[in-house]
Amino acid sequence: MDKCVILTWFYFNNYGTKLQSYALQKFLRNKGYNVEVANYVPVYNNEVKEKKIKTYFFNKLINLCYGKKVNKRNELFKKFTKENINFTTKKYNKEELIELNKDFENFIVGSDQVWNPNFIDNTYFFDFVDDSKNKISYAPSFAVKKIDEENKLRIKPLINRFNTISVREKNGVDILSELTEKNIDITLDPTFLLSKKEWLELINKDEVKENVEEKYILCYFLGEKQFYWDYVRKIVEKTKYKVKVIPMTRKSYLKKYDIEVATGPIEFLSLINNAKIICTDSFHGMVFSLIFNKNFSALSRFDSKDSKSQNSRIESLLNMLDLKENMIYEDYSNVQYEVNNYEKVNEIMQEKIKLSQDFIINAINNRGE
């Protein structure tokens, strides 16, 4: 069977990034494919470097207060990556990636925001891959509603070299439809390719302790909006549940709740699985709430009028599952976290999951024909 290589993000200590890179590889390996993840870390552009500098000073402050727990979290991320992601033997730089053509027939890009125009890297459009190779995109995200003319000109010749194309959101279809006449599918994030049972097996393999008696609201926020915490307080008033926080921002570290600093990818899954309610502005926070059939609120991190808004990733999925009431905006009037009909939600999800699984298998076996 021809070998497959996946080009994706894996190098951030970000729960969604790690778990999506694990999931696509795991699904394909379960199906008998010989799959490796390309060990490639791109060089950051100036905007990302600036963010890293700001993050550095924030991290210095956090280390003063939570040094040991932060180190433990980093160790857990490193452990997860080492034990669960099968990398190419060699670590490649941009110029060396062309060598992959010697060993692999199928090149798969995705998922995550690898096509986000704020992270310009033509590597993720396979500019280094030979014309004869099978080039597949599986659920990459642009993360934005529109891209500018300069990016359209950059992408157009590259996307037309792909054998099979899928994206994660309708906005991606709209963007690419202007650039190619090729068929563009919408496929689910790779984390959906694995069943709830398979994710639970991953948790149990690491012997993470469960506390099913403890009733808590789990907060996982990537943004800093004050209305998040006002909203959480309303749920606490209503339910009397305690609150656990996976801290990602300055404000989240300062909250007088249970701050779960030493949380790696496995612990992240366990905290979601054991929670009664999840409050999150994260796409993958919402995804795992759905996979584990949890009550949740998806809070809006971006102003909907913002051209760089990434809300569409969450809105698109919730609309598909008829759960748009669980999307909470800053001007919210009602607290909404219940999912009363998971039987119907799971039915829709299973149909979409099957289509997504069939898509990637067909793309490899038949080059999408």
**Distance, CA of 262 to CA of 59 (rounded, Å):** 14
Is residue 264 a contact partner of residue 245, using CB atoms and an 8 Å limit?
Answer: no
Is residue 143 a contact partner of residue 171, using CB atoms and an 8 Å limit?
Answer: no
Q: Please compute the mean of the pLDDT values over residues 124-146 and round it to a whole number.
A: 94
Q: Please compute the mean of the pLDDT values over residues 167-176 and round it to a whole number.
A: 92
Q: How many CB atoms lie within 10 A of CB 297?
A: 25
**Distance, CA of 353 to CA of 351 (rounded, Å):** 5
pLDDT, position 55: 65
Instruction: Report the alpha-carbon angle 170-188-108, nearest 5.
Output: 100
Residue 2 reports pLDDT greater than 90: no
Instruction: Report the alpha-carbon angle 125-128-129, nearest 5.
Output: 85
Domains of the chain in sequence order = 4-193+353-366 (3.40.50), 196-338 (3.40.50)
pLDDT, position 119: 82
Residue 46 reports pLDDT greater than 60: no
Q: Cis ω on the peptide bond leading into residue 195 (within 30° of 0)?
A: no
The model's pTM is 0.90
Q: Please compute the mean of the pLDDT values over residues 152-170 and round it to a whole number.
A: 95
- What does the pLDDT look like over 57-94, one tens digit per residue? 667 777 777 889 989 999 999 999 999 999 999 999 99
Q: Please compute the mean of the pLDDT values over residues 341-345 and round it to a whole number.
A: 96
The single-letter code of the amino acid at 143 is A
Q: Please compute the mean of the pLDDT values over residues 302-326 and round it to a whole number.
A: 78
Average pLDDT score, the chain: 91
In the structure, how many helices (H) and strands (E) does the chain have? 11, 13
Residue 110: closest CA among 164, 171, 176: 164
Q: Please compute the mean of the pLDDT values over residues 40-68 and round it to a whole number.
A: 67
pLDDT band per the 50, 70, 90 thresholds, residue 8: very high
pLDDT band per the 50, 70, 90 thresholds, residue 307: low
Tokens matching residue 37: 């993840």
pLDDT, position 52: 56
Q: Which residues of 95-117 are buried (b: 16+ CB within 10 A; e: fewer)?
A: eebeebeeebebbbbbbbbbbbb
Q: What are φ and ψ of residue 27, in 5° steps?
A: -60, -45
pLDDT, position 47: 47
pLDDT, position 254: 87
Is residue 144 a contact partner of residue 117, using CB atoms and an 8 Å limit?
Answer: yes
- What does the pLDDT look like over 220-232, one tens digit per residue? 999 989 999 999 9
**Distance, CA of 23 to CA of 31 (rounded, Å):** 12
pLDDT, position 164: 97
pLDDT, position 209: 66
pLDDT, position 50: 47
Q: Which residue has the higher pLDDT, 307 or 199?
A: 199
**Helix H or strand E segment including 299:** strand 295-299
- What does the pLDDT look like over 249-287, one tens digit per residue? 888 998 999 999 999 999 999 999 999 999 999 999 999
306 alpha carbon, distance to own chain's centre: 21
**Distance, CA of 157 to CA of 152 (rounded, Å):** 9
**Distance, CA of 256 to CA of 254 (rounded, Å):** 7
pLDDT, position 63: 73
pLDDT, position 57: 64
**Distance, CA of 168 to CA of 187 (rounded, Å):** 5
